[in-house]
Amino acid sequence: MRHLTVFVTALILLLLNGVAAADSHLDLTAYEGKVVIVDFWASWCVPCRRSFPWLNAMHAKYADDGLVIIGVNLDREPAAAEEFLREYPPSFRIYYDDSKYLAKEFGVVAMPSSYLLGRDGAIRKRHYGFKVKKQEEYEAAIVAALGDLE
């Protein structure tokens, strides 16, 4: 019961704020059954600017099929992230990884980093950096993951 309360509170906060309160861990188990893109970005990372319109496009196209995108922000200050988000408003969730625990858990070695989790919650694909020329490849991976119904 307490777990559920915490979980629901966290979800509400996420939905209401856009950028989650610091230090609350992201519960990915909530997304089991969905295909999740965990995308690590920061306001000073220029390829991230390129990736946001594409992520919005993917969200528009596949959200109904079960795609969830979580933009994990790794800025030092949420204020810097907020300025970026005003310029590139996302249609997907933003999580502020204040303690950087999520980045370390995923083993982020480059910026930006994007992890594609299948419906079973396991990492199917990851890519470091964002290349315009590889957009089709990235999208094909999403479609393949969506196609695997457990």
Partner 1 sequence: MRAFLFIQGLLVLGIISGCSTMGVEPWDRDVLAKEEMQLTTDPVEAATDDHIYFSKEASSGGRGFGGGGCGCN
Partner 2 sequence: MKAKNKKSITGTLAAATCTLLGSSALEPVQAQEDPGWDFNTSLLYYGEDNDRVQDLSLKALTRRTFVDDRFLTVGLTLDSLTGASPNGALPQSVPQTFTRPSGRKTYSTAAGQLPLDDTFHDSRVAVTANWQQPLGRLYQFNVGASASKEFDYLHLGLNAKISRDFNQRNTTLSAGFAVAQDELDPIGGTPTGLTLMLDAADDDDDDDDDEGRRKGPRETKDILDIVFGVTQVVSRNLLVQVSYSYSDTSGYQTDPYKIISVVDGTTGDAVPVIPAPSNGPSHLYYFEHRPDSRAKHSLYTQGKYYMDGKVLDVSYRYMTDDWEIDSHTVDLRFRWPFGGSSYLEPHLRLYSQTAADFYRLSLINGDPLPEYASADHRLGDFDALTVGLKYGWKTSGGNDMSVRLELYTQSGDISSSQLIGNQLGRDNYPDLNAIIFQFGYQFGK
Which residues participate in catalysis according to the annotation?
A: 45, 48
**Cβ-based neighbour number of residue 32 at 10 Å:** 12
Contacting partner 2 within 44-63 (CB under 8 A): 45-47, 49-50
Q: Return the residue of 55, 58, 69, 75 that touches partner 1, per CB under 8 A.
A: 75
How many residues touch partner 2 under the rule CB under 8 A: the total is: 25
CA distance linking residue 29 with residue 117, whole number of Å: 11
Judge whether 42 and 74 are in contact, CB under 8 Å.
yes
Does position 80 interact with partner 2 (CB under 8 A)? The reply is no
Residues in the chain: 150
Give 116's strand partners: 37, 125
CA distances to 62, 122, 138, 141, 143 from 147, rounded to whole Å, are 11, 15, 15, 10, 6
65 binds, among partner 1, partner 2, none (CB under 5 to 8 A by kind): none
What residue ranges bind partner 2 (CB under 8 A)? Answer: 27-29, 32, 45-47, 49-50, 105-107, 109-110, 117, 120-123, 126, 128-129, 131-133
What residue ranges bind partner 1 (CB under 8 A)? Answer: 40, 42-48, 74-76, 80, 100, 103, 108-113, 129-131
